[in-house]
Structure 1
Amino acid sequence: MTLSQLQLNHTILEQRFPHVITKIKKISDNELSTPLFNELFERDTAWLNAVEGVIGNGKILFVYGFERGLSIADLLELYPNHWLFVYEPDEQLFQKAVTEYDLSLLLGHPNLYWLSVGESQLNMMFHMLSSYMMEDLAFVALRKYLSDDMSTLREVKEKFKEYRQSFLVDKYTENRFRQEWTQNFLYHLSDVLYTLSIERLFHAFEGATAVIVSSGPSLQEDIEWLKKLRPHVLIISAGSSIQALIKHGIQPHLAVIMDGHPVNKKIFASSATREQPLLFTSSSYYEISDQNCAEKIHSIMKSDAVSQYFFGLSKKELFISPTETVAGTAIQAAACLGAKRIILAGQDLSFPNNKFYTDGIEHFAAETIDKKVQEAPKKVLNVKGTYNTTDESFSLMKEGLEKLIIALPRIEFVNSTRNGAVIEGAPFKLMEEIYKWLASESVDPDAIADLINKKNIAVDMNKVQDVRDKLRATLEDLSNVRSEIAAIHKLMNKLREFSRTKPAKAQSMVESIEQMWGLIANREWFSPIFESIMPIEIARFDQVLPFIVTEHQLTRKSDLIYEHLGKMLQDITAQIPILEEMLLESIQRVDRRSNSDALTQKSIN
């Protein structure tokens, strides 16, 4: 009995593009009656001629539309040196195609590199395109979409430009903090094993009002109102604002830390700051969590692939995404706790009256701050209708917060920052008005601390052992990788010469090198750890990969492998001792924690 067309197509999709099969399996049969194909069976020569005009020097084609796959097949045949990234916006049309036609050869074609179906998979497509493209990208739309959807196509192009810009900014941010973040991810594993996650407190304060306190200069004018408000709302300090709150005798219900820099030691220098309930993210500076004497909860960020690997978690299980500012982390924490209303305080996002911080913030040198304020190049509308000076960093934070507000439509946002920038989606209200408005609500003084203590349950020792085993296995495997890299280098040293004198031998060496590199790169731990500690190097190699894979001329292919894979392997080798040190310390931290836990258990018994 032969497999049906649908089964054949489903089998290959399952292997290559599982996200697509998950999507189309949700479409019921009665939804498939409407979509119609416009694609002709004969080759569309006029369209292909037009495509030829937009193919640049890049190796990547972004194709908008799939239909029956006929035009895709033509592109694969005519452009064997290009990778196709195909997006079909119409889920039902794609389901109809895989139901009615045998597309297994097309779907299995190695140069059909990526496939996304439906609007929810568009960002996934953008991510893949941004990962692999260099400067040039040819954008091609099937005739159906060229005639019907020109405005949509323009919109998609714009969205992609924005996504790519953000992707590049993220990569450079990751690169800037790569060693700090990787260290924090690994050193926090022990603490994460022994603390509750923010997800475990989901909607524990359903319907509460939360005030997210930041360190802007306007906070000074509202500090007395915050004191009055504390019995009625959840006070959540974002980053350095804890200094100002403690200085004025206000204990936050929760302090949030996201920043991975050791400057946090200054922020949390006083014992009073370390005695507040703490939400630490896995990216935050590890010593703060180490020293915190009070109740703690953690958040593994959606961007932290290292912790996700060691804990066997998927992004879907995590609530908090990275944002440009710790206030964004605090807002998401409040949303997770079930807040129906979020008040933003001290969120100036600019330099009102040429001030950077509220009084009591002391972790930066005054001359550094003065210089930043004096050199601020931009203006932003403030809540009073005049303008404040600001800079690029604050502009990005403002944009990030506004996106977050849009992403949380069920929460009412209010901006109480009386001299700060206008924040779209958070209308301005004076703190004294807010106080009258919220005087009837009440929150226990130790609400979050009490909840953490109540929820704290026995540690899963199987999970502790599992994380320890994974850490040890990764540490051991790093030395195997070092040996495997040395073996590849040995082959590479002769590759370029042989590609010119002994082509058959060189071809065999290319195949061996590709196989050996595949064994390194396909290890389960490789991508999370190396993309964390060397994001720019990995990104650059990914961008040149299409050129290496699609190059058929042996001498040129050998040169590309020698140059680009050779550089990549050198970079990996340079990071191995650093990673070995971090992994060893992470193992020791888990061991110390479980030994002290065992002693505590013994003394209790």
Structure 2
Amino acid sequence: MSHLQLNYTILEQRFPHVAATVDNSPNDELSEILFTEPFERDTAWLNAAKGVIGNGKIIFVYGFERGLSIADLLELYPDHWLFVYEPNEQLFRKAVTEYDLSLLLEHPNLYWLSVGESQLRIMFHMLSSYMMKDLVFIALRKYLSDDMNMLREVKEQFQDYRQTFLLDKYTENRFREEWTRNFLYHLSDVLYTPSIEQLFYAFEGATVVVVSSGPSLQEDIEWLKKLRPHVLIISAGSSIQALVKHGIQPHLAVIMDGHAVNKKIFASSVTREQPLLFTSSSYYEISDQNCAEKIHSIMKSDAVSQYFFGLNQEELFVFPTETVAGTAIQAAACLGAKRIILAGQDLSFPDNKFYTDGIEHFTAETTDKRVQEAPEKVLNVKGTYNTTDESFSRMKDGLENLIAALPKIDFVNSSRNGAVIEGAPFKPMEEIFEWLAPETVAPDAIADLINEKNIAVDMNKVQDVRDKLIATREDLSNIRSEIAAIHKLMNKLREFSRTKPAKAQNMVESIEQMWGLIANREWFSPIFESIMPIEIARFDQVLPVIVTEHQLTRKSDLIYEHLGKLLQDIAAQIPILEEMFSESIRRLDKKTDSDAVIHKDI
């Protein structure tokens, strides 16, 4: 077996994403790309690294070359986990082709490996998941001498990613029960509605107006009435209230928010008669009550639905953003928009107003307080400044990043009192109307499309989802018993670690095996990372400390404290999940029975 075949077999097992990169890398001689890593131990570099590493258990190593320095680090720091990133795909292929790296690639403390720029974000995700405090960042000598600017940029990118990662975790934690319930309760509706991906580019070349709820919308309501025959109008979240109040029916209403406050937004029967795009995270009762045509979107962040439908992120179009307007923009892009007009997207408090007229789901007292306490200023399209706050600033950054990610679409900001939006130059609605007057859109364009598609329900998929729901609900009871068995062992672990170390060592191994049987279930991560994200994240951060601890009494204390607490938290969630699963099954059966009656009548 060649070096490449041997190394590739291990990569397929441990780091399949890297194996795919090796597959796709050209098989060149690479005579112009040379290894600079010496065969003898680079003592000066290792001494410099020692001063950086300290007590941190996670080391991010920038560079792999032929793995010699990585092997030295693994030998010198047996109680650390290495996360290694090699930016040069061709250089990595040369290394796995010319050298037997099997022992290195199999080493358990080489915890993660990424190769090439496309795998940098997944490296950031893994680092953010497991590191507890500051990042220990080490670069191979080659990159220290050649790419200092790149190294600084990567460190800055990681800090930005980690900040967003932590914010997302706390957001997930805040809405964890709501979102998990919405994911599970939406399964039935998702099975019986077309996805946004199934309507891909159905309106190629169209102009779409994405309507938000900012104060500027009030000044452009009449222009929106005039524009409706010429553009697709998509309402984002609460803006549907303002539109229907003024007699404007959006071609599509988009809902992403998972909170019950949406019952107030969609309280009017007129709002529930518009075609609806609901995300799997959105409040489930709105989809239940909607009387018109529906489309669904499973978010890239929704691992629960992805598990039950057997999907992966690459098959999905929409990813979460800071605002429902971001969801509406992605829906417009999926439908094939060539131009997107942003209306009512103020991202600030022009004239100390929060919403346009007609938005009534929050009390004036609540919105006035937020306006009065707004601590920041942002440049508006008139060249002056509006007050704003951190939440709107994050929304603005998120929208600007989304706009930058869609370079083939022309964006225009029509919000005449709102914040400047990079990538969306300001144009007043009257000028936009002159542009778009020649274009025409059918009054019920999206509703007609959904009805024309008439996508048949896959009853095999319905049964498969139902079977998974039932099996998972039953397996929750098994986990309850397995947790009880682990706790029984744990109750004696710390005492035995001090009095009967051999027995304690056997107990540690048994606990690790029993925990592995729980955590390695296919459905475990999607469900429990959804309903208890902070608890899982905190355990992930302490896991390197537990795994690399060799002192038995200390290891036993760590297992008792951290795994014991996590198991208690999991056990507390099981009754809640069992209730959710039972209701999800009931909803699916009700939908299936209703569908059967309809087909029988036909």
Same fold by TM-score greater than 0.5:
yes
The separation in 2 between residues aligned to 1:5 and 1:382, in whole angstroms, is 61
The separation in 2 between residues aligned to 1:302 and 1:137, in whole angstroms, is 27
RMSD: 0.6
Matched, 1:121 2:119: yes
Question: What is the aligned counterpart of 1:266 among 264, 267, 271?
Answer: 264
Matches for 1:284-323 after TM superposition, within 5 Å: 284-323=282-321
Alpha-carbon deviation of 1:33? 4.0
In the alignment, which residue of structure 1 is the partner of 2:444? 446
The separation in 2 between residues aligned to 1:555 and 1:45, in whole angstroms, is 34
The separation in 2 between residues aligned to 1:509 and 1:233, in whole angstroms, is 67
One-letter code aligned to 2:187: L
1:507-547 CA-to-partner distances (Å, cap 9, x unmatched) read 00000000000000000000000000000000000000000
CA contact (8 A) 1:341 1:412 kept: yes
One-letter code aligned to 2:427: K
One-letter code aligned to 2:149: S
CA contact (8 A) 1:213 1:344 kept: yes
The separation in 1 between residues aligned to 2:468 and 2:255, in whole angstroms, is 27
The separation in 1 between residues aligned to 2:571 and 2:28, in whole angstroms, is 56
Alpha-carbon deviation of 1:56? 2.5
One-letter code aligned to 2:92: F
In the alignment, which residue of structure 1 is the partner of 2:43? 45
Matches for 1:161-560 after TM superposition, within 5 Å: 161-560=159-558
CA contact (8 A) 1:57 1:136 kept: no
CA contact (8 A) 1:82 1:111 kept: yes
One-letter code aligned to 2:168: D
The separation in 2 between residues aligned to 1:441 and 1:42, in whole angstroms, is 71
In the alignment, which residue of structure 2 is the partner of 1:561? 559
Alpha-carbon deviation of 1:31? 6.6
Question: How many residue pairs were aligned?
Answer: 602
Alpha-carbon deviation of 1:35? 2.0
CA contact (8 A) 2:196 2:297 kept: yes
The separation in 1 between residues aligned to 2:135 and 2:245, in whole angstroms, is 54
* 1:25 aligned counterpart, secondary structure: helix
The separation in 1 between residues aligned to 2:496 and 2:232, in whole angstroms, is 70
* 1:429 aligned counterpart, secondary structure: coil
Alpha-carbon deviation of 1:136? 3.0
The separation in 2 between residues aligned to 1:596 and 1:305, in whole angstroms, is 28
The separation in 2 between residues aligned to 1:35 and 1:332, in whole angstroms, is 41
CA contact (8 A) 1:56 1:137 kept: no
The separation in 1 between residues aligned to 2:306 and 2:538, in whole angstroms, is 24
Alpha-carbon deviation of 1:458? 1.7
In the alignment, which residue of structure 2 is the partner of 1:20? 18
Alpha-carbon deviation of 1:457? 2.2
* 1:196 aligned counterpart, secondary structure: coil
The separation in 2 between residues aligned to 1:183 and 1:429, in whole angstroms, is 42
Change (3 A) 1:31 1:239: farther
TM-score, normalising length: structure 2: 1.00
The separation in 2 between residues aligned to 1:279 and 1:24, in whole angstroms, is 40
Alpha-carbon deviation of 1:29? 1.4
One-letter code aligned to 2:428: L
The separation in 2 between residues aligned to 1:526 and 1:329, in whole angstroms, is 28
In the alignment, which residue of structure 1 is the partner of 2:139? 141
The separation in 1 between residues aligned to 2:419 and 2:18, in whole angstroms, is 43
The separation in 2 between residues aligned to 1:491 and 1:478, in whole angstroms, is 20
Alpha-carbon deviation of 1:113? 0.1
Alpha-carbon deviation of 1:23? 1.1
One-letter code aligned to 1:372: R
Question: What is the aligned counterpart of 1:579 among 574, 577, 580?
Answer: 577
Alpha-carbon deviation of 1:28? 1.9
One-letter code aligned to 1:236: I
1:16-69 CA-to-partner distances (Å, cap 9, x unmatched) read 000001112111213744321000000000000000010132200000000000
Matched, 1:79 2:53: no
The separation in 2 between residues aligned to 1:30 and 1:77, in whole angstroms, is 32
Identity %: 85
* 1:280 aligned counterpart, secondary structure: strand
TM-score, normalising length: structure 1: 0.99
The separation in 2 between residues aligned to 1:435 and 1:458, in whole angstroms, is 39
One-letter code aligned to 1:543: Q
* 1:140 aligned counterpart, secondary structure: strand
